[in-house]
Amino acid sequence: MRKKIVAGNWKMNMNLAEGLKFAESVSRYFNNKPAAKAEVILCTPFIHLGGVSAILENSKVASGAQNCASEESGAYTGEVSAGMIKSTGAKYVIIGHSERRSYYHEDDAILNRKTSMALKSGLKVIFCCGEVKEERETGKHFEVVKRQLGNGLFLHSGKEMAEVVIAYEPVWAIGTGLTATPDQAQEMHKFIRQLVSEKYGKEIAEDMTILYGGSCKPSNAAEIFSKPDVDGGLIGGASLKLDDFTAIVEAV
Ligand code: PGA
């Protein structure tokens, strides 16, 4: 059965005390409610992850990281391995976010390695893809997403794909207030599911959770999530406000 997910991506926001307090309020909110229709995940900075994972233990909310190292361990100053992330109690890691691709020059080969490390460590992967504005305007968006998935993700086995969630995030919609229309999201999500089906077969494609990300907010979430191939969202800015984030979860 295909799972619905709403994941908050805090990016580089909130100090430790603020982050722990916020995680407590999210946990309290969902624990006092009947089970949400979507799995709720908080993807925090590394600094917060141990504390947030402890707060969320036995709650209805899961934790995740926003990145992991492409190597297993050793002399890689400043890096955090997938195994370390797993040891905090976190369940997920975001890989291939457009901010990692563009500001930190993470290419398909590195993202493929990071995905391998994460899966090997027992983490579930939220693998991001999406085109920039110019690629959309010149009609290259399908080709770009196909390449990102083909080179960064599809080298993994069908069995491993059960531990993967794909997030389509058009870069021109991230943090800009511009959102893909529900039809644009559906068109790309359907295309992605088709690619998964061609590579891994229909069953794996039908089970694959595909999230939309990019200026998703309470006012547009329900319409985007109503599309048949949109299985939830990866939420940046709106995940930092309790009311907005919970309203988006409830829009599923
Ligand atoms: P946004 O970010 O919701 O602030 O546009 C989404 C993301 O980058 O994951």
The tokens for 236 are 């940046």
pLDDT per position as a tens digit, 35-47: 878 999 999 999 9
Indicate whether residue 9 lines ligand 1 (CB < 6 A): yes
Q: What is the distance between the alpha carbons of residues 117 and 65, in angstroms, rounded to a whole number?
A: 13
Q: With cut-offs at 50, 70 and 90, classify the pLDDT of residue 34.
A: confident
* pLDDT computed for residue 178 by the predictor: 86
User: Measured from the CA of 214, which atom of ligand 1 is nearest?
Assistant: 5
pLDDT(2) > 90: yes
Burial tier of 249 (Cβ tally within 10 Å: 0-12, 13-18, 19+): buried
Cβ partners under 8 Å of residue 197, min gap 6? 204, 205, 206
**pLDDT of 11 over the 90 cut:** yes
Q: What is the pLDDT of the chain when averaged over all its residues?
A: 97
What is the CA(74)–ligand 1 centre distance, in A? 32
In contact, 22 and 248? CB cutoff 8 Å: no
Give Cα separations from 119 to 45, 181, 218 (angstroms).
20, 32, 32
User: How far apart, in Å, are the Cα atoms of 23 and each of 42, 60, 124, 215, 238?
Assistant: 8, 12, 20, 21, 14
Dist. CA 200–CA 156, nearest whole Å:
10
Question: Mean pLDDT over residues 69-83, rounded?
Answer: 98
Binned at pLDDT 50, 70 and 90, residue 32 comes out as confident
Confidence tier at 33 by pLDDT (50, 70, 90)? confident
φ and ψ of 168, to 5 deg: -90, 115
Residue type at position 130: G
User: Which pLDDT value is given to residue 36?
Assistant: 78
Q: Are 171 and 133 in contact (CB under 8 A)?
A: yes
Ligand 1 atom with minimal separation from the 235 CA: 3
pLDDT tens for each residue of 127-182: 999 999 999 999 999 999 999 999 999 999 999 999 999 999 999 999 888 889 99
Going by CA atoms, what residue is nearest to atom 9 of ligand 1? 236
Give the whole-number percent of the chain exceeding pLDDT 90. 95
**Ligand 1: residue whose CA is nearest its atom 2:** 236
Alpha-carbon distance of 149 to 173, in angstroms, equals 19
pLDDT in tens, 201-216: 999 999 999 999 999 9
**pLDDT tens, position by position, 84-132:** 999 999 999 999 999 999 999 999 999 999 999 999 999 999 999 999 9
**Does 15 score more than 90 pLDDT?**
yes
| Mean pLDDT on 174-197 | 95
Asked whether 169 lines ligand 1 (CB < 6 A), one says yes
Cβ burial 225-245 (10 Å sphere, 16+ → b, else e): bebebbbbbbbbbbbbeeebb
| 236 and 94 Cβ atoms separated by less than 8 Å | no
